[in-house]
């Protein structure tokens, strides 16, 4: 039953996402479920199974990515967090923890011998919650939501005994305490037993039980559930009265909040790991579920300097406990062909329960991985899954001396073209290119996908069907579908409204975002971020081709114009050159530009004296590392570049500055020292 093509899987995932969202809404918001809980669970399981099998098809709106259900569909009120609720970066072994500690030292320019105190505490598996106190009184409780906007659960937390309604004298006027709402293992077991008796919904694990219990429209339901809370930090605060994480947590504890019994401070990685191992040993005996240990830089001034990358702070790390493993039989190895022609082997397993989820498929990555594991159909294998990570084979238990290895195909299973690995590459690719239907339809799917042009209404099935009819040969054809309105309408399953919606969605993208469009073309090495970096600097989509062509022809200025962009290296320049060297691609490009008119690409700039400017740092910086300086520049809306050119606006030169300083002087570029830079940063706040 899992012998699906990629297009079929994408289609089914889309239907599952919609169905699950609908049943969530019926269950949570309208209290009027249409299907039994078993049927609902089957949908969720099927979704997880398909996602494990086709990890690259996991949807933005996948039910597996949601905590319960979406905030937008929530019956609870919305709360915008004054200070964003962050997520944490993960480490899975000692090396990654050491690397993190070393990165902190480098960022802060600290000597080897200077100790950096780190707190460690166990990470409870619950639901993050932010509690806002004003003048000592609890005024609002909110879930994390997406980190920026959560749900209002103020009446729901009123009955959680661990959460004080009032704080003692002397706490900051505005103070947000953050922590996890959770359910103990014993309470979870008892709740499920009671639910079963009453014919109610069973919860998969204590975390789901806590989330489902807290996020109730009717707070009296929450009141009956045995929820607990413990604090791990704080959000907005009118004043931060301590200088360290540890002291702040002790203050929060004195306010009446439970904190982790394992909270400690240490200043060596050895001590941190020893503590991690100790917690791991006691984990089975704890009455609550934990999934790792969280480390935080203790000094708050260091935390402020370290700041954030994307959604996670640089100063904190979650060290996860090892993944759960299980043994099963590898029944078959199937080969899937992706958008770039890559042949991906997928292992079909005898179903096995790992960490509470039934796993039937694993990715085997590539030919090398199959060789490394020496796996063949029929082998006994050990698989593991950790958190949200796709299940993988970690060991092969069948070790016979004499046997033929699995024969990796040398022909594309979709189109029969030769499949080869280029020199130095591990991936085997179909060489069929444009004659390979798997590649062509998937390129079109990529083009309309959410991260690219984001055109609604194009399921994989629709694309495959239009492609088979010859209506969709290249991206530009999407814009010509309006001439086929009657033909589309004549197909089974289409009505006036659905056709009009599709055509309107297409028309809506006549002036598309240039970076999304560039990403949507699927040029090698040009991912989402690279496409944005390119457009931020080149501004006009039409200019990309001429620069790439000039660079390929040996024009050094053109190449330098691209490589001087932060994040753009020679491989991107080469890939762009190769793309536009292919006559077919140029035809597709011209055809597409004839259909669309993307506006000039501009980035919003922050209001600071260096916003929108290009800053270069050179020479030795005394009070900060180069990375910290660059991060400051980016925070102020400036672009930190590695080399001086006519486009440089400001050079920050420390002692020992050499050729860059000379070049900047020749070009008449404003030059300041580190103290001057620090002043700009301080004034911009």
Return residues touching Zn ion (CB under 5 A): 412, 414-415, 417, 430, 432, 436
What lies within 8 Å, CB to CB, of 310 at 6+ separation is none
- To 10 degrees, what angle do helices 583-595 and 541-552 make? 160
Query: Is 260 known as a binding-site position?
Result: no
Residue among 415 and 452 whose Cβ is closer to Zn ion: 415
Taking the complex as a whole, the smallest distance from the CB of residue 128 to Zn ion amounts, in Å, to 46
Taking the complex as a whole, the smallest distance from the CB of residue 429 to Zn ion amounts, in Å, to 9
Q: Return the closest-CA partner of residue 176 out of 243, 248, 75.
A: 248
Query: Is 415 known as a binding-site position?
Result: yes
Residue among 75 and 413 whose Cβ is closer to Zn ion: 413
Residue among 436 and 481 whose Cβ is closer to Zn ion: 436
d(CA 166, CA 178): 15
d(CA 633, CA 437): 46
Neighbours of 233 (CB within 10 A): 20
Taking the complex as a whole, the smallest distance from the CB of residue 209 to Zn ion amounts, in Å, to 47
Residue 83, φ and ψ in degrees, nearest 5:
-115, 125
Taking the complex as a whole, the smallest distance from the CB of residue 430 to Zn ion amounts, in Å, to 3
Query: Is 296 known as a binding-site position?
Result: yes
Q: Let me know: does 573 contact 599? Beta carbons within 8 Å.
A: no
Residue 285, φ and ψ in degrees, nearest 5:
-90, -10
Helix and strand numbers (H, E) in the chain are: 25, 24
Query: Is 88 known as a binding-site position?
Result: yes
Taking the complex as a whole, the smallest distance from the CB of residue 366 to Zn ion amounts, in Å, to 16
Counting beta carbons within 10 angstroms of the beta carbon of residue 468, is it exposed (0 to 12), middle (13 to 18) or buried (19 or more)? Answer: exposed
Residue 178, φ and ψ in degrees, nearest 5:
-115, 145
CA torsion angle 256 257 260 261 (round to 10) = 20
Q: Can you read off the two tokens belonging to residue 290? A: 């934990």
* Alpha-carbon distances of 635 from 280, 461, 685, rounded to whole Å: 38, 43, 10
Beta strand segments in 92-147, E: 118-124, 127-134, 137-143
Taking the complex as a whole, the smallest distance from the CB of residue 419 to Zn ion amounts, in Å, to 7
Query: Is 129 known as a binding-site position?
Result: no
* Among 18, 66, 123, 451, the one annotated catalytic: 123
Query: Is 320 known as a binding-site position?
Result: yes
Query: Is 144 known as a binding-site position?
Result: yes
Residue among 451 and 584 whose Cβ is closer to Zn ion: 584
Helix residue spans in 484-569 (DSSP H): 485-489, 496-507, 514-520, 528-538, 541-552, 556-563
d(CA 250, CA 240): 13
Taking the complex as a whole, the smallest distance from the CB of residue 72 to Zn ion amounts, in Å, to 40
Q: Can you read off the two tokens belonging to residue 553? A: 């022809």
Helix-, strand-, coil-residue percentages of the chain, each rounded to 5: 40, 20, 40
Q: Can you read off the two tokens belonging to residue 388? A: 């949200």
Residue with tokens 């975390």: 207
d(CA 381, CA 374): 10
Asked if 224 is an active-site residue, the reply is: no
d(CA 410, CA 420): 7
Residue among 183 and 415 whose Cβ is closer to Zn ion: 415
Residue among 179 and 522 whose Cβ is closer to Zn ion: 522
- For 286-355, give the DSSP string: SSS-EEEEEEEESBHHHHHHH-EETTEETTEEEEEPPPEEEEEEEEEEEEEE-TT-BEEEEEEEEEEEET
Residue among 338 and 520 whose Cβ is closer to Zn ion: 338
Q: Let me know: does 297 contact 316? Beta carbons within 8 Å.
A: yes
Residue among 299 and 339 whose Cβ is closer to Zn ion: 339
Query: Is 37 known as a binding-site position?
Result: yes
Q: Can you read off the two tokens belonging to residue 23? A: 């049943």
Taking the complex as a whole, the smallest distance from the CB of residue 435 to Zn ion amounts, in Å, to 7
Query: Is 412 known as a binding-site position?
Result: yes
Taking the complex as a whole, the smallest distance from the CB of residue 55 to Zn ion amounts, in Å, to 20
Q: What is the DSSP letter of 442?
A: H
Residue among 299 and 443 whose Cβ is closer to Zn ion: 443
Angle at alpha carbon of residue 60, lines to 55 and 66, rounded to 5°: 95
Q: Which helix (H) or strand (E) holds 196?
A: helix 185-198
Q: What is the DSSP letter of 610?
A: T
Binding site residues for Zn(2+), as ranges? 412, 415, 436
Binding site residues, as ranges? 37-41, 87-88, 121, 144, 180, 296, 320, 412, 415, 436
Binding site residues for NAD(+), as ranges? 37-41, 87-88, 121, 144, 180, 296, 320
Q: Any idea which residues carry the catalytic annotation?
A: 123
């Amino acid at each position: 039953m899992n012998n699906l093509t990629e297009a079929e899987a994408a289609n089914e995932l889309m239907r599952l996402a919609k169905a699950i969202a609908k049943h969530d809404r019926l269950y949570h918001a309208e209290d009027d479920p249409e299907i039994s809980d078993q049927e609902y669970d089957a949908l969720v399981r099927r979704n997880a199974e398909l996602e494990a099998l086709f990890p690259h098809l996991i949807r933005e709106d996948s039910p597996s990515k949601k905590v319960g259900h979406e905030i937008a569909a929530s019956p609870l009120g919305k709360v915008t967090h004054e200070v964003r609720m962050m997520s944490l970066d993960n480490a899975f072994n000692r090396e990654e923890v050491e690397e993190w500690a070393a990165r902190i030292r480098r960022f802060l320019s600290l000597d080897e011998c200077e100790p950096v105190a780190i707190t460690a505490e166990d990470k409870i598996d619950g639901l993050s919650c932010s509690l806002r106190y004003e003048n000592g009184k609890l005024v609002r409780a909110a879930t994390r939501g997406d980190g920026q906007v959560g749900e209002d659960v103020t009446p729901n937390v009123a009955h959680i005994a661990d959460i004080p309604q009032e704080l003692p004298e002397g706490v900051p006027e505005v103070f947000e305490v953050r922590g996890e709402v959770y359910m103990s293992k014993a309470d979870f077991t008892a709740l499920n037993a009671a639910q079963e008796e009453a014919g109610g919904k069973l919860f998969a694990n204590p975390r789901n039980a806590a989330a489902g219990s807290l996020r109730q429209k009717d707070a009296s339901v929450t009141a009956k559930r045995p929820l607990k809370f413990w604090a791990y930090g704080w959000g907005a605060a009118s004043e931060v009265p301590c200088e360290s994480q540890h002291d702040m947590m002790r203050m929060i504890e004195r306010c009446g909040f439970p904190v982790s019994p394992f909270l400690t401070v240490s200043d060596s990685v050895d001590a941190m790991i020893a503590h991690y191992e100790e917690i791991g040993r006691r984990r089975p005996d704890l009455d609550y579920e934990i999934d790792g240990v969280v480390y935080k830089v203790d000094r708050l001034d260091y935390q402020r300097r370290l700041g954030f990358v994307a959604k996670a702070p640089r100063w904190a790390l979650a060290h996860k406990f090892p993944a759960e493993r299980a043994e099963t039989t590898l029944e078959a190895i199937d080969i899937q062909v992706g958008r770039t022609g890559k042949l991906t082997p997928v292992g079909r397993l005898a179903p096995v329960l790992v960490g509470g989820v039934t796993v039937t498929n694993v990715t085997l990555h590539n030919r090398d991985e199959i060789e490394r594991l020496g796996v063949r159909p029929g082998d006994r294998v050990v698989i593991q899954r950790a958190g949200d990570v796709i299940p993988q084979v970690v060991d092969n238990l069948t070790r016979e001396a004499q046997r033929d290895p699995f024969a990796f195909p040398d022909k594309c299973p979709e189109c029969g073209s030769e499949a080869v690995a280029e020199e130095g590459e591990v991936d085997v690719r179909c060489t069929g290119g444009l004659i390979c239907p798997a590649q062509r339809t998937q390129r079109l799917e990529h083009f309309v996908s959410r991260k690219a042009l984001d055109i609604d209404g194009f399921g994989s099935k629709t694309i495959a069907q239009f492609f088979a009819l010859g209506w969709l040969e290249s991206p530009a054809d999407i814009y010509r579908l309006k001439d086929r309105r009657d033909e589309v309408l004549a197909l089974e399953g289409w009505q006036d409204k659905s056709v009009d919606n599709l055509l309107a969605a297409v028309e809506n993208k006549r002036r598309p975002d240039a970076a999304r469009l560039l990403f949507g073309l699927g040029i090698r090495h040009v991912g989402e971020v690279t496409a944005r970096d390119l457009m931020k600097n080149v501004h006009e989509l039409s200019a990309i081709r001429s620069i790439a062509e000039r660079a390929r022809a040996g024009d050094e200025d053109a190449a330098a114009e691209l490589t001087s962009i932060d994040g753009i290296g020679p491989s991107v320049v080469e890939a762009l050159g190769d793309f536009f060297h292919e006559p077919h691609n140029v035809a597709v490009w011209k055809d597409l530009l004839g259909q669309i008119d993307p506006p000039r690409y501009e980035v919003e700039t922050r209001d600071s004296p260096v916003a929108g400017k290009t800053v270069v740092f050179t020479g030795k910086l005394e009070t900060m590392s180069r990375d910290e300086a660059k991060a400051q520049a980016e925070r102020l809306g400036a672009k930190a570049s590695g080399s001086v050119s006519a486009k440089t606006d400001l050079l920050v030169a420390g002692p020992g500055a050499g050729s860059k300083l000379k070049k900047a002087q020749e070009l008449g570029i404003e030059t300041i020292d580190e103290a001057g830079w620090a002043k700009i940063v301080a004034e911009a706040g």
